[in-house]
Chains A and B, each alone.
Chain A
């Protein structure tokens, strides 16, 4: 063998040594140099009409600027939430008045037909009431939130969001496009999980899939809105829109924070690796056509999600009612199960009924709150739940404090994904282990966070 022949091993060693000398992020340096060159050449050969150049660039310089980018984003997001909370109040009250008014008529009809009490209970108190709740609580915020969200989507703002958040995700060892999958998650986590296909590297796709659940989906937003109203109500005497908005914004931001932390932990442990660079095209801004926007957001999203919720709510309402009205030694099955979970619930600043509602709500997050209300109602006096104020009274009567509302929000934000999402994760990963982890990781996080919050609150005698 000739002495100056490079063997593979020599070459490998040389490369390793040079790589060590050059330090990390070499690829970034290379890409930055290429971009600089491209910019330099362009500036020498391209001439644009000054006026034409460019409203887009001007706007982009502001909305993706290092200083203003994030605050502007937060401002717009809380603006959307504020409009949703404020705007949804009135139609929500109207709808529930209408639907619960119809419940009285249904009851009357059942009585006049001499229908047996169990049938009335199952159909009216079980199925219809859950349905009425789902519709009146979910429809108004969705009908406002989705068109607004679609507006920003069609405007071309979402890629800018990904651009703004890229550095954080990179630090967490995740892919910048994960932000886009999270945006989809706001609508529905199952859709969010499917959208993770846009991430090419399998490692980063898994990180995105496993953490998508930390973005509150549409099924959980109504719960968050209700909790916001109750929380601000118990703290300030009456429900205010501004603190409620800030509360929901805060919850969403903590969801993003948890996403980053969990992504970081995953990329340091189970899914080791470095983030890959990618090219994100910032499309030109386009003013959306209001007509198509409304049709698409209302038909494709609002009605779709609502129908799904209704389909799940009917059997769930029926099941819960039976569960609450089947007695064993004079105690209903529901109370029995909730009693068993009481101790655990208390540790997390919740109670047995809330934990049970989350478990029974596995098919869809939309029905967690209705199930909870029904379980509270089944043990005491019947209430006409016409508004949030009545809901607040019901919850306070069941021993709720602001801490319960806060923990309920956190648990809702962080707990296991719904059955649809889990099935989707199973299909996308084709792996039982990752699917189970997708349920276990969030649940673990939810338990730890709620436990800590509760213990801290008790430690400082805040409750």
Chain B
């Protein structure tokens, strides 16, 4: 990006990832609720090629690993298990910051097929940030035992993102997942996630703010999500977003680096 950013939090983590001995062509983030078998998916994908690292400044441990598929080398970051990206816990902040400001090439949401509704809440929130989302529908064996049936194709259509069924414990479906990731990251196949529609007043405000953001900034993160958070978040996040925006000003416009301070 050509900017010097403070080497803290996410950027320090990414820097560490970049300077690690392993080469990789894309970064994929692994998100999901606690107890969805996310770690099993992570282990299944990376095998023994993984390290744990600290999120600088926070007491959250992140695992990162590498794997090769169809000739491509990928880095995988296991985010903390969270139910949401909206609340205040350190885990949720770390997960949220990585997904939006870390700009991973794709995000895999691991979901528990036995309680899809609760898991969808997180998936919808991630889909608001980026369109590069793949759902890994895990624990299908348990769902079967509990006589829960899921119409995968309909789910895929409704969500607008690839939904890959897996039983990570048995390595079932993990190859399909890798292929889906490659198609999205390297094959230029982009998803069109369903947009969550809010009430009329909020939508009106969003339209207004998004237009304003799009005029001045070009971001990989969905401007709609940025606008939404600018409206409903606390000051620290608003500050983070504005600083992120300032690093993504459109080049055609001259910004005023001096004299404008937060």
Q: Which A residues lie at the B interface, using CB under 8 A? A: 1-2, 4-9, 11-12, 14-15, 18-19, 21-22, 26-27, 29-31, 33-35, 37-39, 41-42, 44-49, 52, 200-201, 276-279, 281
Q: A175 to nearest B CB, angstroms? A: 9
Q: A200 to nearest B CB, angstroms? A: 4
Bound complex: CA of A5 vs CA of B212, how far in Å? 9
Contact residues in A for B149 (Cβ distance below 8 Å):
46-48
Contact B205 A34 (CB under 8 A): no
Contact residues in B for A41 (Cβ distance below 8 Å):
120, 155, 158-159
- Please name the residue on chain A nearest to B206 by beta carbon: A18
> Which residues between 64 and 118 of chain B lie within 8 Å of chain A, taking CB atoms?
83-84, 86-90, 116-118
Contact residues in B for A47 (Cβ distance below 8 Å):
148-151
Identify 16 residue pairs between A and B in the complex whose beta-carbon atoms are under 8 Å apart, listed by A's number.
A2-B254, A4-B216, A5-B256, A6-B213, A7-B256, A19-B231, A22-B205, A33-B196, A33-B198, A41-B159, A44-B158, A45-B152, A45-B155, A46-B150, A52-B147, A200-B89
> A29's contact among B116, B154, B198, B233, by CB below 8 Å, is which?
B198
Contact A279 B147 (CB under 8 A): no
Given A8-B246, A38-B121, A47-B148, residue A276 in contact with residue B88 (CB < 8 A): yes
Contact B196 A4 (CB under 8 A): no
Contact residues in A for B151 (Cβ distance below 8 Å):
44-47
Bound complex: CA of A18 vs CA of B202, how far in Å? 9
Number of B residues contacting the other chain (C-beta, 8 Å)? 55
Interface check B253, CB cutoff 8 A: yes
> Which residues between 188 and 246 of chain B lie within 8 Å of chain A, taking CB atoms?
196-199, 201-202, 205, 208-209, 212-213, 215-217, 228, 230-233, 238, 242, 245-246
Contact B253 A27 (CB under 8 A): no
A-B contact count (CB 8 A): 133
The A interface, classified by DSSP as helix, strand, loop or mixed, is helix
Contact residues in B for A19 (Cβ distance below 8 Å):
231
Contact B117 A27 (CB under 8 A): no
Report B126-158 CB contacts with A as 1/0, cut-off 8 Å.
000000000000000000001111111011001
Contact B117 A279 (CB under 8 A): no
> A1's contact among B198, B212, B256, by CB below 8 Å, is which?
B256
Bound complex: CA of A324 vs CA of B118, how far in Å? 63
- Please name the residue on chain A nearest to B151 by beta carbon: A45
